[in-house]
A and B are shown apart, each in its own frame.
Chain A
Amino acid sequence: MSATTQSPMVTTALAQAAAERGSQQEGILRYKDLLLMLIWRDIKIRYKQSIMGFFWAVLMPILIVGSGLIVMVVFSTISGHPINKLDVLSVAAKAVPWAFFVGAIRFGTNSLVANKELVTKIYFPRAIMPLASVLASFFDFVIAEAVLALVLVIARVGVSIQLLWFPVLLLVLMIFTAGLSLLLACANLFFRDVKYLVEVVLTYGIFFTPVFYSAGKLGKLGWILMLNPLGPILEGMGNALVLHQPLAVNWLLYAAAWSVALFLVAWKIFDKSEAAFAEAI
């Protein structure tokens, strides 16, 4: 043992180890298996009873499409225009990503507080928890999209070159959801009533997002719906999958800029406040 005389090599190694522990990015890479394991855990628990699990993935999109139908019937009665098959299907195409967003944000917001025991007892990069929640919800999304694809095939909607936008839109959606999830998980840890606020916003948020109707239906005020970064993403998905309409690239850029900025800011805030998690929780 050398209490005072320490070789320079050891000191360097110590400094290096300290630097490693500091950064969230490297931490996440080192803990990749943990991320995968937590995603697997969330999915496994939810799908333990496989039929209910599968239902869980499609239940919410079906409910959204159902309520969308009612809204459309009301509109059609008022305006006198008959309901179009493609409009209904485009609501479905937008309901699936919306359901993913709601699910991911709901689980993500609670992810740190729900794993209190881990946060106070064991060290690992905390960002893994909200990210795992988002990715576990993504699994539901994939199942719901598969069901949607089947419906679209049966309805003979067909495909077009616009479908190529879908992966880009999905990427932007993921970044936006992950960023918001990190931010809200962190906020909910410090202020426990954040989750109630989130619930309220998620419940009524659907009316401020073009899910039941397209932004165009609002006429000149349509741009208001597009200000919400989810607006261009969901509209884009409806266009790419069902309507085969060209995408509003400038709106997509707007949403992408928002998403990336949100993610970076959220990451920074999360990283800075992480040290205080164990005490504040």
Chain B
Amino acid sequence: MGHSGIQFSGVWKKFARGEKFDSLRDLIPSLVKYVVTGNHRGDLKAREFWALKDVSFDVQGQAMALIGPNGSGKSTALKLLSGILKPDRGDVHVHGRLGALIELGAGFHPDLTGRENIYLNGTILGMKKAEITRKFDEIVEFSGISEFIDTPVKRYSSGMYARLGFSVAAHIDPEVLLVDEVLSVGDYHFQQKCFDKMRDFVRRGTTLVFVSHNMAAVGSLCKTALLLKHGVPVFQGDVAGAIQKYYSFYEEETSNDNVELVDVRLSSTSGEEREVFEPGEGVVLEVKLKALQDLHNAHAALLIHTADGQLVFDTATSRLLDNRPLEMKKGKSATVKFALDMNLRSGVFLLGFNISSDIVVPGQYIYYNGCVKRVVMTREQKANGIVHLNPRAELTFG
């Protein structure tokens, strides 16, 4: 596989907003008007906007996440990669067999059976008929709907539909795989199966571009990320940094002229600095901060969110230190240290840090950062879920 990869160099893409002439009935009068009155061009140009502005990246045999708020141009980038759209400026190169999970089951015909649709969808995705025949049993088995394979897909539930769609798409053996937020369908079990399949692709050197709003998925699948906002690349590089930046769009660092974080350290209890921990391990978060204003009666808090934004844990110095406040003169430094047992399992968690004061309105912060550090919890085989409850079992017969 070796040389599979994609390249986006200086890509610009513009779209026209609002109505276009999509019928001759509208076009002909406007042409007449154009000929008679002359200038008609100005207001047409005004409706155009750039969906992507000077975006460049290069991925070869790796997984890259493409993240950003709605309307940031992620899907447009995928469509450019898959050849559906052409860039206005710049170049898009794809090397290797391309597979796109942009719409599961696209081209399924409701009146055809699951079996027939596997062939139809497979060829639409670029497979040869003989190839589908060879992989047919595997596809059906992966989808887990073998009993319904000769039922017309119009009788399928949306979950079954997605299962079959993913199953076909996953068997094209792509060298370059584009995935666009398609895994929100299907039950938990099937989602895990899809993730395992994608991890497997990445392990084997498939170039993966993954678009998702699910930061847990993003963090566990990709090493690098590109963050887009209004079509402009905002951050490019390490996935943790991108996720952190992504959250900062929502949780603005309120009045960051109050406090400056000088250093943030995450380490194990033995003092070894790292970000990957085993469930149940003890960790220490050390935040060194500098006051840019005088601080009175302030308290520091630690928050832990799952990568998709769910609050898992929240504590503060006010509660842990018997209300001892953070008193600081302008220009002085202090270090806040939190120690805790990470009874969390498998996935990415975001450590947030904030400083609030008794005096200001609750919910308003002197300083807020939703993610100062990222923690990766390794997989634990004994259980599922987000918390690690150190389970044990016993069997008694008699």
Contacts and interface: CB of A to CB of B under 8 A. Distances in A.
Interface stretch (A55-63, A118-126, A201-209): A118-126
Nearest to B15: A279
B84 A21 contact: no
24 contacts: A1-B58, A14-B7, A14-B95, A17-B96, A33-B128, A37-B119, A37-B124, A38-B120, A44-B116, A118-B107, A120-B84, A121-B84, A122-B84, A122-B100, A122-B124, A123-B83, A123-B100, A191-B23, A192-B22, A193-B25, A194-B24, A275-B85, A275-B86, A279-B85
Nearest to B130: A33
Interface string B45-59: 000000000000011
A139 to B, nearest CB: 17
Contacts, number: 109
A15 B7 CA distance: 11
Interface in A167-194: 190-194
B3 A13 contact: yes
Contacts of A18: 93-94
Contacts of B382: none
Interface string A62-82: 000000000000000000000
Interface of B: 3, 5, 7, 15-16, 20-25, 27, 58-62, 79, 82-86, 93-96, 98, 100, 102-103, 106-107, 109, 111-112, 116, 119-120, 123-129
A197 B25 CA distance: 11
Contacts of B20: 280
A89 B61 CA distance: 66
B100 A193 contact: no
B132 to A, nearest CB: 9
Interface string A214-245: 00000000000000000000000000000000
Going nearest first, the 5 A-B pairs with the smallest beta carbon separation are: A123-B83, A275-B86, A34-B123, A121-B103, A37-B123
A10 interface: yes
A78 B64 CA distance: 79
A21 B109 contact: no
B134 to A, nearest CB: 13
A115 B96 CA distance: 27
Contacts of A117: 103, 106-107
Contact of A3 (B24, B58, B94): B58
Contacts of A191: 21-24, 27
B62 A1 contact: yes
A169 to B, nearest CB: 32
Contacts of B102: 121-122
Interface residues of A, number: 42
Contacts of A41: 109, 112, 116, 120
Interface string A95-128: 0000000000000000000010111111110000
A122 B125 contact: yes
A2 interface: yes
A45 interface: yes
B62 A118 contact: no
A54 interface: no
A9 B60 CA distance: 14
Contacts of B128: 33
A48 interface: yes
A36 B119 CA distance: 11
B124 A34 contact: yes
A14 B22 contact: no
Contact of A118 (B27, B124, B129): B124
B24 A197 contact: yes
